Structures are given as structure tokens and as C-alpha cells.
């Protein structure tokens, strides 16, 4: 099975549980299980090749310009983690079916679980660090949904926020580190990065990259000082806890450290940061776990401790230590998932996780007791279970590790952590299952049905089998995984795993830790009293205080800067830009001008004076809204003339068309507003704004002058467009070819936004039609006498005569646009102006009675035609919106061109016409009452003497 399909299956399958929940809980769970099983089968199909030492690749260029490619590869490390994710995920799906109650939305649960599963599979299979980062952040988001699944619990919501905050911040740091690595190597593909150890470690950016990447790993895998978030995630349902702690989220940081081991390990920085952090985490987690009375809290801190153990082994930087880390990853996944599920069974049946309220359950729950006993003994490192073998390997490696010149630091502290590990494991057995039966359980406990104990029982069988036959069952997988971690490949030496290695120092250390751990359990009550009396920091309180501090700081800054005044925001932005530009001017060096200033004729000077005069008049007369609109129209007209003067007829046609449409729509909008705006700005603010405006204008002018009087080394993109317009796009009008081909995606986005804007205007006016606002608009009295004839006959006749002519002009502009000035956008505006004139001349009712198509549909048809035209390029194996063209000979006609760009331009034409007319119709309806005929309709000019005088008439 393709690696792409393996990675995609969980995401595709996440749709089905939510859809099938109405078919029943079994259908929902079976759909989730089937998808996971298919992905697991696909992985197992590829497993034989990987076990033989092959590395499977699947490559797809996604965004090669950014270095983001959808590349996947499967080696021993990816096989191990993907197997754990999918295998234990399948068991969790079965377990969750019987654990969750009927009140829990099971469809949502399985959808979240599969999204999380897909993100984890994506991480372990990614061969591109940018793609890996995408999946990494998806794990944070999907785990947020899983941890906060029980939204009615405050602790669930708090735990989800804490997990997202801590892991999200670490993820942001890791993004920086990964980008540094990609910059050092010159590639973002992992398979390339992993071959450049010397280049990376010799770079001056090695340490910053290392620190940033480790920040992401430590936060995700709950290493000190970020260990506090993981226990608070225990508010999630037990299936989530079992999955996150055994095989997925918290192992993501471990995976990444193992994946990057070949290029980051082997330096003093790696050793002291990673190994020391792992040792501290292992010790702290084990000590805290012993004094937790909540079953899941005890197991959560034990997970923190074991993650620290694996991190410490990876930090040693030796092949043997990496091998021990790989083996313990397998062992921890088996016994920890089983333990969490057994704790969930106890909680499910006894209705409590409080150890002080439990005890004697072996008599009432023998099956659960057997599962918990085997898994806990393996966690304690008791032979012949698998946890003993990897614990002994860990202790052996500490004997060969020197920290700051001392050979005793790691062995001694590792033994201390191991004895606390044995103590909390024994406590899980003794205080929960041993002792006499009690008579005050919250509910009568008993073994559940097979559906709940089957999954943990299967895992405990693996615990026993791996412990008894490690060389047969685990060694091949450990070997190929360790070879991938260390980068040894085929040169990796064969390993020998066994329960018994004779009487050695590691065995003595293990036995000592076990004996003292049993002693600690015997004196647990006294130790608990001492622990409760000791002053110690509470991580949750510290975290919430830090978050509160930064939240208050952010609110203070926001309140100081954001007062709701857009002019203030604009002033701050302009000041920043001016400061940045001034700094660049004062510190930069500009080459001498290489071009002479051309002579300016009288006509441009006159146009420029009109432009400046109109602009100045707008500044001083902007309170008079009608006059300001007229002056803005003058400015637009001058700009259109300037475009035409500078040989840009397309821009001139577009500008003048936009000006006409805009002026008409704005006149209609102003009809519902006061004639003058209030005088709000003080003299000081006016002076401030004037200085900023003059400074901005002078800066832009100076920049334009500098650019236009100098030649630059970099060639202009215009040269490419001029050279390829006809050969690549089939048109001699470069502007139109850019719009429909070279930059067609921009145009597609623009017509989509234009349509959305028109629909928003429609929605707003729909809301106003049923409110008192419209009644007040209709009841207002004009301040000047109104014309008694809103639809002069001369205008009616003229517009109806001009209608076919205007549409013919629009068609002419449309069809000539690919080779001469014109195109769909300009043609759409011209056609819209022709229709607008009918509304103005004959009234809203008359025009609406003759309307054959809804403007919403016209917008949708335009966007759809443009999209289908763009997708048609895929059938020619070219990018989206790449146009095609050819020439046709018909008898009696000259050769003419057919281009797909014409269809795209048709979409643009329809979207523009629909958007403009929908906006016009929406505004006009504010002044129109149902039942009015065209003679009395108050369309563009609603303020008439016969308007209703009170809201009851509306």
C-alpha cells in the first residue's frame, strides 16, 4: 500500500464515525476501527521490505518553490512508531466502544481520535520537515479536542488549554529550529538533512537549532520543566489518556529526538542538555507518582518518569543507549496502555479513581487484577517481564556514563528513580487490588464484559511474551529501528536480548532498587505525611500566574493602543512606516541616477494641477458629502486620463468604468445619509494628520523618483510578460493575458471577494428591511423641494435606445480583450452601467419585472465558470488556470483564435455584472415598498412628499 494512502486513511476515515452515529454506536466504532485496520494492514504489507533494511519513499512535489514537498519515507523508526500508533489505536477504538457511555457523543470522539491518529502517522512518515511541522501542529489541535472532550468538566477544559498552550509554544520554537536546519543544509527533506551531520554540527547555528528543536521535543514529551501539563490532561476520558501516554502524543517528542539523533547527537551540548533533562525528569516524575492518590495521576507521573528515562538514554549519544531507548519505547507502550485501561476499568466499575477508597479488588475483579498485576510488575522492572530487560539495559548504560567528570551521578540517581518506580508500581497493585474487601465502594465493582478487558489483556500477553522470548519477538524490530536511529544502516551490529545476563552490576542495582522500593511502600503512610508537610511549588498555580500576567499585560497594551478609532490606527501605522523609511534613507546608500528626467508638456501639468486642486478641495470640503463625491469623481477622471496618457488604455477603461459605477452606487447610498458629516477632529489632530499626510506623500514621491531615475540589476518581470504573452497565453494584450493566465489565480480571488462583498451588502439590507431603520428612512422629510416626476420621459427613451448599443459595446470590449484593450472586467462594468441606467430611468419595479435571472445566481455562475475553466487545465497536466489556445479555419472566414481564457473572462464578466447589480438592487430596496407600481416607486430618490408619515404606514 502506498505511504500516501496510509497517511491519508485516518483523515479520510474521520468523516465516517460522525456520519454513522445515527446508525448506532457499533456502526460508528466499526467504521473507525476498519479505517485504522486498513492503514495497519497497509503498513504491515510494507514491513517485510523495511525489516530487510530497505527504506521506502513516496514523493510528490507540492510547493517546490518553498521547499514544501509531500514526501514520505518508511524506515525502521517510522515502522515502529506507525505500528504503535495504528496497533494500539485499534485496541483503543475497541476499548472506547465499551468504555464511553450513551450520553457521550461517540461520533465526535472517534472523529477526533482519527484526526489525531492521522497527524501522528504523518509525523512519523514525513520526509520533509515543513510537512512534519504541519502534522506536528495538527497533533496539538486534535489533542486539544480529545483532552477537552468532556466539555462539561472545568478541569477538562483547563487541561486542554494547558496542553495546547505548552505544546503549541514548543511547536513554534521547533519551527524556528527546523528552518535553521533546512537553511544550513539547503534542503528541507529529512533524508537529505540526515546525511549532513558534519555540516550541521560545524555550523555556528547548530546550538540555536538544537535548543529550539529540543524545546519542541521537551514540551511535547513533558520533560522538565514542562512536565506539569501531562497530568492535568488526565481529565480526558481514559481511552484518550491510554492512547496519548502509551503510543502517540507524548512519544512525538521522543520520536523526533530519535529521528534527529544521527545529526544532532554526539556533541557535549546534546549530552548535557538531553541526558541531564531526562535524568531530572525521570527522578521527579517517579517521586511525585508515589504520592498521588488518583490512579490516573499516578500513571501520568509514571509516564513522565519513563519518558525521562528514554530521553536520558537518547542523550547518552551511544549506540547501545539508543538501542536500549528503542526497546523501552516498545515495552513502555505495552504495559502503560494496559495499565491505563485497567485503571479505566476500575473507575468505570467502582466509580472512583481514589486509591484511598479502593483495595481488595482482586476478590471482585480477578481478570482486571491479573492484567494490572502483570503490567505493573513490568513497569516496576520485575523479571521475567519485558520492563525488566530494558530497565537493566538502562542501568548498564548509566555505569558507562560520566557527568562533569563524575562516574557516579547517573548510576546513583538512576537507581533512586528506579526504586521510586518500583514503589509506585507496587502501590498500584497493593493499595488497589490487595487487602481485604471493603464495604464502602461508591459502586459495587466487578469485572466488565470482554469488550473492555480484551484490549489490555492482549497487551499483557505481549508483555509476557516479549519478556520470555525477547530475542525472537522483539530483537529484529529493535535492531532495524536502532539502525535507523543511529544511522548505521546495514552496518548495525546484531544485538542479543535476554532476561538473564548473569550476576552483574546492573542486576545488583536493579535488585537494590526493587528491595528499597518495597520498603518505601511499607512505610508509605509516614512518607506521605512528610511529603504533605514539605513546602513545594505547584506547577499549575505557577503556570496560571504566568498566563494571567501576560494576559493582563496584553490587555493593558491593547487597551492603550486600541480605542476603536480607525484614524488612530492609521496614524500609528503611518508613523511606523515613515520611521522605517526614514531609517532606511539615513542608513542606506543609493546609486547615482542613471536616467534623465523627461520633459513635461502642458497637458500633463494642467491635469496634475486639476488633480491637486480636486484633492485639496476634498480635504477642505469633505464635510459636504455630495460635493466630496463629485470631487472624488474628478480625481478618478484625471487618473484615468493619466493612465491613457502613459499608454495604459486597459487601466484607463477600467478606472473610468469603476468611477461611473462607484459614483452611482455612492449617490444611492448617500441618499440615505445626512448631507454633511459632523466636525469631529480638533485643530491639533488636523495638524497631526496634515504633517503625516505630507510626510507620507513626500516619502512615496521620493521613492518613485528614485526608482524611475535608476536602472537596477534585477530584470523587470515585465520583460517576461512581454516576451511570453503571445507564445504562452495566446494574446497580444499583455494586461489581459496577465489577468486571465499569468496571474489568473489573483483574478479568481478578486471576483470571489467581489461577489462576497455584494452578498454581504444584500444580507445587511435584508436585515434592515425588517427593522425600524427602513421605516425611519421612508419617513424622513427632504430638506429641499423634490421633483414631482422621478422618471423623466426623455431619460426613459434615451436609456432604452442606448441599452442594446451599450450591450453591443460591452460584447465588443469583451471579445477584443485578449488582443486589444478590453476584457471581461471592463465589459462587465459597461454592461452593469447599461442596466443601472434602466433602474435610474424607469424605476426599480419596472426593471425588476423584466429581470430574468437573480443576481445571486449570476455571481455564482461567474465564479463557477471561472473555477471550472481553471480546473480544466488539470486535464492537460498543467497548473490550475493555465490557459490553452488554438487557431481555427472556417470557410468564408479568416483565421481566428479560440482560447480557454475567453471562458475564464466570461466568468469574470458575469461575476462583475452580478455583484454590481446585486449591490444596486440591495440599496434600492431600502427605498421601495412592496405593491408600488413603477409610476409611484421611490427608487433612487425616495424622499418624496407622499412618503408615509409614520411607521404604521410602512
Number of domains in the chain: 2
- DSSP characters for 711-739? --SSPPHHHHHHHHHHHHHS-S-HHHHII
**Alpha carbon distance 650, 736 (integer Å):** 8
474, part of any domain: yes
pLDDT score for 928: 61
CA triple 736-742-745, angle to 5 deg: 95
Is the pLDDT reported for residue 940 higher than 50? no
pLDDT score for 778: 64
Q: How confident is the model at residue 546 (pLDDT cuts 50, 70, 90)?
A: confident
pLDDT score for 767: 79
Each residue's pLDDT tens digit, 232-249? 877 788 888 888 877 677
Determine what percent of the chain is predicted with pLDDT higher than 70.
Answer: 94
Each residue's pLDDT tens digit, 548-567? 898 899 988 888 777 777 87
Nearest to 740 by CA among 643, 884, 896: 884
Is the pLDDT reported for residue 449 higher than 90? no
User: What's the domain range around 824?
Assistant: 733-954
Q: How confident is the model at residue 920 (pLDDT cuts 50, 70, 90)?
A: confident
**Alpha carbon distance 947, 783 (integer Å):** 14
Q: Which of 536-545, 899-908, 930-939 comes out lowest in average pLDDT? A: 930-939
Task: Find the mean pLDDT for residues 62-79.
Answer: 83
577, part of any domain: no
Q: How confident is the model at residue 539 (pLDDT cuts 50, 70, 90)?
A: confident
pLDDT score for 213: 94
- Mean pLDDT is highest, among 93-97, 817-821, 884-888, for 93-97
Determine what percent of the chain is predicted with pLDDT higher than 90.
Answer: 33
690, part of any domain: no
269, part of any domain: yes
Beta bridge partners of 624: 676
Look at the alpha carbons of 611, 614, 619, 620 in this order and tell me if their dihedral is positive or negative: positive
Q: 3-state SS of the chain: helix, strand, coil percent to 5?
A: 75, 5, 25
Mean pLDDT (the chain) is: 85
Last residue of a domain, one of 522, 541, 571: 522
Is the pLDDT reported for residue 705 higher than 60? yes
454, part of any domain: yes
**Alpha carbon distance 744, 901 (integer Å):** 9
Is the pLDDT reported for residue 953 higher than 60? no
Task: Find the mean pLDDT for residues 826-845.
Answer: 85
Each residue's pLDDT tens digit, 588-608? 777 788 888 888 888 888 888
- DSSP characters for 771-788? SHHHHHHHHPPPSS---S
Q: How confident is the model at residue 43 (pLDDT cuts 50, 70, 90)?
A: very high
State how far the alpha carbon of 606 is from the alpha carbons of 603, 609, 610, in Å: 5, 5, 6
Q: Which of 260-269, 328-337, 742-751 comes out lowest in average pLDDT? A: 742-751
Q: How confident is the model at residue 951 (pLDDT cuts 50, 70, 90)?
A: very low
pLDDT score for 944: 38
Q: How confident is the model at residue 618 (pLDDT cuts 50, 70, 90)?
A: confident
Enter the C-alpha cell of residue 793.
Answer: 420621459
614, part of any domain: no
Is the pLDDT reported for residue 931 higher than 50? no
Q: Which of 62-76, 140-154, 167-181, 436-450 comes out lowest in average pLDDT? A: 62-76
- Mean pLDDT is highest, among 31-40, 537-546, 582-591, 685-694, for 31-40
Is the pLDDT reported for residue 913 higher than 50? yes
First to last CA, the chain: 68
pLDDT score for 490: 67
Q: 679 in helix, strand or coil? A: coil
* 932 vs 211, higher pLDDT: 211
761, part of any domain: yes
Is the pLDDT reported for residue 929 higher than 70? no
Task: Find the mean pLDDT for residues 782-796.
Answer: 71
Instruction: Check if the beta carbon of residue 849 is closer than 8 Å to that of residue 932.
Output: no
Is the pLDDT reported for residue 73 higher than 80? yes
pLDDT score for 665: 82
Instruction: Check if the beta carbon of residue 933 is closer than 8 Å to that of residue 773.
Output: no
Q: Which of 21-25, 268-272, 441-445, 515-519 comes out lowest in average pLDDT? A: 21-25
Last residue of a domain, one of 522, 556, 576: 522
pLDDT score for 782: 63
798, part of any domain: yes
Each residue's pLDDT tens digit, 346-379? 998 898 988 988 888 998 999 999 999 999 999 9
Beta-strand runs (E) in 797-871: none
Q: How confident is the model at residue 949 (pLDDT cuts 50, 70, 90)?
A: very low
Last residue of a domain, one of 522, 549, 582: 522
Is the pLDDT reported for residue 420 higher than 90? yes
Q: Which of 579-583, 592-596, 773-777, 905-909 comes out lowest in average pLDDT? A: 773-777
Q: How confident is the model at residue 779 (pLDDT cuts 50, 70, 90)?
A: low
Eight-class DSSP state of 598: P
Amino acid at each position: 500500500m502506498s505511504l500516501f494512502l496510509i497517511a491519508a486513511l485516518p483523515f479520510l476515515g474521520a468523516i465516517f464515525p460522525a456520519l454513522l452515529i445515527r446508525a448506532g454506536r457499533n456502526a460508528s466504532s466499526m467504521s473507525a476501527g476498519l479505517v485504522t485496520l486498513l492503514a495497519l494492514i497497509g503498513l504491515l504489507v510494507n514491513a517485510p521490505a523495511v525489516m530487510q533494511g530497505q527504506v521506502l519513499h513516496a514523493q510528490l512535489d507540492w510547493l517546490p518553490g518553498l521547499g514544501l514537498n509531500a514526501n514520505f519515507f518508511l524506515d525502521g523508526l517510522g515502522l515502529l512508531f506507525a505500528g504503535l500508533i495504528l496497533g494500539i489505536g485499534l485496541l483503543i477504538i475497541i476499548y472506547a466502544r465499551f468504555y464511553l457511555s450513551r450520553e457521550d457523543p461517540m461520533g465526535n470522539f472517534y472523529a477526533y481520535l482519527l484526526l489525531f491518529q492521522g497527524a501522528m502517522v504523518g509525523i512519523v512518515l514525513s520526509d520533509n520537515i515543513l510537512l512534519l511541522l504541519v502534522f506536528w501542529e495538527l497533533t496539538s489541535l486534535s489533542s486539544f479536542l480529545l483532552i477537552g472532550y468532556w466539555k462539561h468538566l472545568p478541569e477538562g477544559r483547563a487541561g486542554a488549554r494547558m496542553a495546547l498552550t505548552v505544546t503549541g509554544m514548543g511547536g513554534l520554537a521547533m519551527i524556528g529550529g527546523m528552518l535553521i536546519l533546512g537553511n544550513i543544509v539547503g534542503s528541507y527533506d529529512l533524508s537529505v538533512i540526515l546525511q549532513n551531520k558534519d555540516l550541521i554540527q560545524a555550523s555556528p547555528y547548530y546550538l540555536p537549532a538544537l535548543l529550539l528543536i529540543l524545546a519542541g521535543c521537551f514540551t511535547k514529551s513533558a520533560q522538565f520543566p514542562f512536565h506539569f501539563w501531562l497530568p492535568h490532561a488526565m481529565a480526558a476520558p481514559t481511552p484518550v489518556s491510554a492512547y496519548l501516554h502509551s503510543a502517540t502524543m507524548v512519544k512525538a517528542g521522543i520520536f523526533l529526538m530519535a529521528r534527529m539523533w544521527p545529526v544532532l547527537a554526539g556533541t557535549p551540548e546534546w549530552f548535557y542538555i538531553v541526558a541531564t533533562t531526562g535524568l531530572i525528569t525521570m527522578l521527579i516524575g517517579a517521586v511525585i507518582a508515589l504520592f498521588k492518590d488518583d490512579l490516573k495521576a499516578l500513571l501520568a507521573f509514571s509516564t513522565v518518569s519513563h519518558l525521562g528515562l528514554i530521553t536520558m538514554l537518547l542523550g547518552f549519544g551511544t549506540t547501545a543507549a539508543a538501542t536500549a531507548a528503542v526497546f523501552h519505547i516498545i515495552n513502555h507502550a505495552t504495559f502503560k496502555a494496559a495499565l491505563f485501561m485497567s485503571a479505566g476499568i476500575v473507575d468505570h466499575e467502582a466509580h472512583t479513581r481514589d486509591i484511598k477508597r479502593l483495595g481488595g479488588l482482586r476478590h471482585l475483579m480477578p481478570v482486571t487484577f491479573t492484567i494490572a498485576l502483570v503490567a505493573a510488575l513490568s513497569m516496576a522492572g520485575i523479571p521475567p517481564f519485558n520492563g525488566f530487560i530494558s530497565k537493566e539495559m538502562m542501568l548498564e548504560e548509566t555505569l558507562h556514563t560520566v557527568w562533569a567528570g563524575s562516574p557516579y551521578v547517573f548510576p546513583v540517581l538512576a537507581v533512586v528513580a528506579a526504586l521510586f518506580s518500583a514503589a509506585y508500581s507496587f502501590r498500584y497493585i497493593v493499595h488497589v487490588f490487595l487487602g481485604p474487601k471493603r464495604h464502602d465502594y461508591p459502586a459495587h465493582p466487578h469485572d466488565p464484559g470482554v469488550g473492555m478487558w480484551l484490549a489490555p489483556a492482549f497487551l499483557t500477553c505481549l508483555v509476557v511474551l516479549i519478556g520470555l522470548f525477547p530475542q525472537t519477538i522483539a530483537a529484529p524490530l529493535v535492531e532495524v529501528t536502532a539502525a535507523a536511529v543511529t544511522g548505521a544502516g546495514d552496518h548495525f551490529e546484531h544485538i542479543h536480548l535476554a532476561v538473564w545476563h548473569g550476576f552483574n552490576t546492573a542486576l545488583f542495582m536493579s535488585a537494590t532498587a526493587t528491595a528499597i522500593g518495597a520498603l518505601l511502600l511499607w512505610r508509605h503512610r509516614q512518607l506521605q505525611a512528610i511529603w504533605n508537610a514539605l513546602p513545594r511549588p505547584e506547577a499549575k498555580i505557577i503556570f496560571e500566574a504566568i498566563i494571567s500576567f501576560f494576559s493582563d499585560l496584553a490587555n493593558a497594551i491593547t487597551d492603550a493602543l486600541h480605542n476603536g478609532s480607525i484614524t488612530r490606527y492609521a496614524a500609528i501605522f503611518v508613523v511606523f512606516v515613515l520611521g522605517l523609511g526614514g531609517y532606511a534613507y539615513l542608513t542606506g546608500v543609493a546609486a547615482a541616477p542613471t536616467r534623465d528626467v523627461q520633459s513635461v508638456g502642458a497637458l500633463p501639468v494642467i491635469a496634475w494641477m486639476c488633480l491637486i486642486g480636486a484633492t485639496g478641495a476634498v480635504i477642505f470640503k469633505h464635510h459636504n458629502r455630495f460635493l466630496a463625491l463629485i470631487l472624488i469623481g474628478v480625481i478618478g477622471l484625471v487618473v484615468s486620463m493619466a493612465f491613457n496618457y502613459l499608454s495604459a488604455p486597459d487601466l484607463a477603461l477600467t478606472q473610468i468604468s469603476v468611477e461611473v459605477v462607484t459614483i452611482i452606487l455612492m449617490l444611492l447610498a448617500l441618499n440615505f445619509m445626512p448631507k454633511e458629516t459632523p466636525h469631529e477632529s480638533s485643530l491639533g489632530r488636523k495638524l497631526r494628520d496634515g504633517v503625516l499626510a505630507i510626510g507620507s506623500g513626500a516619502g512615496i514621491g521620493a521613492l518613485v523618483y528614485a526608482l524611475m531615475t535608476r536602472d537596477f540589476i534585477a530584470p523587470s518581470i515585465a520583460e517576461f510578460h512581454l516576451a511570453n504573452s503571445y507564445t504562452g497565453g495566446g494574446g497580444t494584450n499583455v494586461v489581459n493575458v496577465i489577468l486571465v493566465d499569468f496571474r489568473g489565480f489573483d483574478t479568481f480571488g478578486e471576483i470571489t471577494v467581489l461577489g462576497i462583498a455584494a452578498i454581504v451588502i444584500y444580507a445587511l439590507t435584508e436585515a434592515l428591511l425588517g427593522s425600524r431603520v427602513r421605516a425611519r428612512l421612508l419617513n424622513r422629510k427632504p430638506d429641499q423641494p423634490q421633483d414631482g416626476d422621478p422618471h423623466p420621459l426623455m431619460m426613459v427613451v434615451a436609456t432604452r435606445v442606448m441599452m442594446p448599443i451599450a450591450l453591443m459595446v460591452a460584447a465588443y470590449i469583451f471579445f477584443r480583450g485578449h488582443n486589444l484593450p478590453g476584457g471581461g472586467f471592463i465589459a462587465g462594468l459597461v454592461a452593469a452601467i447599461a442596466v443601472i441606467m434602466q433602474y435610474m430611468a424607469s424605476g426599480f419595479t419596472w426593471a425588476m419585472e423584466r429581470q430574468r435571472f437573480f443576481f445571486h445566481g449570476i455571481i455564482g455562475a461567474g465564479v463557477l465558470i471561472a473555477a471550472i475553466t481553471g480546473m480544466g487545465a488539470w486535464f492537460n497536466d498543467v497548473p490550475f488556470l493555465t490557459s490553452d489556445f488554438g487557431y481555427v479555419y472556417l470557410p468564408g472566414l479568416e483565421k481566428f483564435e479560440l482560447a480557454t481564457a475567453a471562458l475564464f473572462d466570461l466568468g469574470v464578466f458575469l461575476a462583475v455584472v452580478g455583484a454590481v447589480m446585486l449591490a444596486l438592487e440591495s440599496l434600492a430596496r431600502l427605498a421601495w415598498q412592496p405593491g408600488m407600481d413603477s409610476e409611484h416607486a421611490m427608487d433612487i430618490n425616495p424622499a418624496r412628499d407622499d412618503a408615509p408619515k409614520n411607521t404604521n404606514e410602512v
